[in-house]
């Protein structure tokens, strides 16, 4: 598996980040998704890492020899997918501060 993909394979499709760029950050000592995201912008696009997060974790695991389970994940928060500011403005919240169901 290790060398099947060439370096210019796009890992993050939203931000156009290649495997070579990810590898360069890992070589600089970046071994968490949070750092990778902040420095390379990978996972920062519209899909918020739904495609590339696993690929980056794999890449970190391959290069550092760490098991995937030991690679620190970012925090998961609402919204689960993109929602317009207008839709949120038109929404009502219940007493607990959660969106009221229709």
Partner 1 sequence: MKNKAEVVIIGGGVVGCSIAYHLVKNGCKDVVILEKSHLASGSTGRCGAGVRQQWGTEMNCRLSTGSCRDLENMNEELEYDGDIEFHQGGYLLVAYTDHQVDQFRKNVQLQNSLGIASKFLTPQEAKEIVPHLNIEPLMAATFYQKDGHCNPFHVTQAFADAARRLGVEINTFTTVTGIKIENGAVKGVYTDQGEISTNIVVDAAGGYADQIAEMAGVKIPSYSERHQILVTEPVEAFQSCMVMSFHHSTYCQQSPQGSFIMGLGDFNEPHSHEIMSTWEFLKNMSDKITAMLPPLRYLRVVRQWAGLYHMTPDRTPILGSTNQCKGFEMALGFSGHGFMIAPMTGRLMAAHILGLDHPDLDILNTLNIDRFAKGNLFVEPSVV
Interaction site with partner 1 (CB under 8 A): 32, 34-35, 38-39, 41, 44-46, 48, 75, 77-79, 82-86, 88-89, 91, 93, 97-99
Rounded Cα distance between 56 and 70, Å, is 13
Residue number with CB closer to partner 1 (20 or 79): 79
Contact criterion met (CB below 8 Å) for 59 and 19:
yes
CA end-to-end distance (rounded Å), the chain: 48
Residue number with CB closer to partner 1 (69 or 75): 75
Question: What is the closest distance, in whole angstroms, from the C-beta atom of residue 98 to partner 1 in the complex?
Answer: 6
Rounded Cα distance between 31 and 83, Å, is 31
Question: What is the closest distance, in whole angstroms, from the C-beta atom of residue 13 to partner 1 in the complex?
Answer: 13
Question: What is the closest distance, in whole angstroms, from the C-beta atom of residue 50 to partner 1 in the complex?
Answer: 11
Q: Which two tokens stand for residue 94?
A: 């219940």
């Amino acid at each position: 598996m290790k060398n099947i993909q060439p370096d210019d394979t796009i890992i993050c499709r939203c931000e156009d980040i290649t495997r070579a760029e990810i590898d360069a950050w890992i070589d600089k000592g970046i071994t968490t998704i949070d750092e990778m995201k902040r420095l390379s912008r990978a996972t920062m696009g519209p899909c918020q890492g739904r495609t590339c997060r696993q690929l980056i974790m794999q890449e970190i695991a391959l290069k550092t020899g760490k098991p995937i389970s030991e690679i620190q994940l970012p925090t998961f928060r609402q919204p689960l997918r993109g929602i317009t500011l207008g839709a949120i403005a038109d929404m009502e919240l219940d007493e607990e501060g959660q969106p009221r169901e229709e």
